[in-house]
Amino acid sequence: LIVDSPHVHCDGNEIETTFHYRKNHFSHTPEGLKVSPKLHEYLFKTQLKPKKTGVLLVGIGGNNGSTSVGAVFANKKHMTWRTKEGLHTANYFGSITQASTVHLGWDGEQQVHVPFNEIIPILSPNDLVIDGWDINNKNLYEAMIRAKVFEPELQEKLRPYMEPIVPMPSIYYPDFIASNQECVVVLWTANTERYTDVTEGLNMTAEDILMSIEKSADEVSPSNIFAVAAILEGAHYINGSPQNTLVPGIIELARKHNVFVGGDDFKSGQTKIKSALIDFLVSSGLKPESIVSYNHLGNNDGKNLSEARQFRSKEISKSSVVDDMVQANKILYPTGKNPDHCIVIKYVPYVGDSKRAMDEYICSIFMGGRQTFVIHNTCEDSLLASPLIYDLVILTELATRIQYADASDGQFHSFHEVLSMLSVLLKAPVVPAGTPVSNAFMRQFASLTKLVTVLAGVASDTDMQIEFFTQLPKAH
């Protein structure tokens, strides 16, 4: 993308852009809510060359891990395979960074949509070097067979590449981190843990969590240990499961070591639809009163979630997805009471990785009426989650190349250590303390794409399309 603007300066190594952020400031007065629009001038500086990036998956021998690794080989080798439906070709469908486009405007004849990965230089999943750990020491070919995600013909084509890969037996591999990579992301795609207590003296500060690990405190979870180890080695950490790994002490530790953390829980199937549908309903002036979500699946995730304490972690992450959308409309929800929201997950081994999700939505509509939606969604669980793994890593690496400044002082800083720009990929986004959580899918997507266009110096407010119903003033 070539941008012709006085607000963009590029020397081939980095691009610097000026962005005028329009923000409303509010105050409550006796006369009512007072809104004061203000202009804030940012400078953004982005290194153009993506870093050589290593990915360490916690749970690499599981369905998501073996699928993620196998799909990279399939794409790099341009593999094809045949099923009863015909010939299939490896792709990265389901990845925002690799398979979505961004609307930039109207060129006088047609709408202009540009691939996400052409706006600013980002990694391809093919560039990633992937390894990881698992409690199962089977090689990834055996893991892939056990997962039953890929078709048999593809599994055999992948065998020479997957069979030599055996999960690492330990948490500490300094040679991999220090010698081979410029950026390393450790990502948890292992089983869901129960929620851990968050208390003073246990994990509220960086000192607390380090001391608790040293004492082998019962409430220190395996994912806490992986997160701390990653941070101490200068690696970024992403939590792809529902448990509350990112306790305050771990976030403080990340800040001290200048690394990013992100989470929680991949937003891939049923919850992704819910985060778009509830936003659509509430934005349409319809009032969701009851949401009942039933799931059954047969992979190891389903087996693990059949335990009550682990299910509670998932229930929390799946149920919180509607909160901000309900709170946004005091006309429909004057008391702030959420809709009735019930979530059920059952383990049915026969269906394997092919999760069934059934939802019923009941809405109050005009003049006492009622509208009911029933959705049956067959989610190929790992084929929906694996593209999110690539996106989480690719966007984290991009964040390491971005700095911003207040244009008035020119002092550049990195983003906050809690990487909330990943929210569109996560069920229960962790955000910096004191900032709001956004779960509405299209709002999250717009936030991410607007950021990327700003980094490139492209106008990011073109969706208003005011030029189609007004006389467009002259450009300045």
Q: Does 312 have pLDDT greater than 80?
A: no
Contact by Cβ (8 Å): 301, 347: no
pLDDT band at 393 (very low <50, low <70, confident <90, very high): very high
Evaluated on CA atoms 381, 386, 391, 393, the torsion sign reads positive
Mean pLDDT on 86-106: 96
Q: Does 317 have pLDDT greater than 80?
A: no
> Which residues on adjacent β-strands are paired with residue 53?
183
Q: Does 313 have pLDDT greater than 60?
A: no
> Which residues on adjacent β-strands are paired with residue 106?
111
Contact by Cβ (8 Å): 309, 381: no
Q: What is the mean pLDDT of the chain?
A: 91
3-state helix, strand, coil in the chain (%, to 5): 35, 25, 35
CA–CA gap between residue 49 and residue 455 (Å, rounded): 14
CA–CA gap between residue 93 and residue 216 (Å, rounded): 43
Q: Does 224 have pLDDT greater than 80?
A: yes
* H-helix segments, 345-461: 381-400, 441-456
Of 173-187, 191-205, 212-226, 386-400, the range with the highest mean pLDDT is 386-400
pLDDT band at 461 (very low <50, low <70, confident <90, very high): low
Mean pLDDT on 352-362: 91
- Over residues 250-264, the pLDDT tens digits come to 999 999 999 999 989
Domains annotated on the chain, with CATH: 53-266+382-456 (3.40.50.720), 273-377 (3.30.360.10)
Mean pLDDT on 14-31: 95
- Over residues 149-201, the pLDDT tens digits come to 999 999 999 999 999 999 997 554 444 444 556 899 999 998 888 888 899 99
- pTM here is 0.93
- Over residues 407-456, the pLDDT tens digits come to 999 999 999 999 999 999 999 999 999 999 999 999 999 999 999 999 99
By annotation, the residues acting in catalysis are: 265, 314, 355, 427
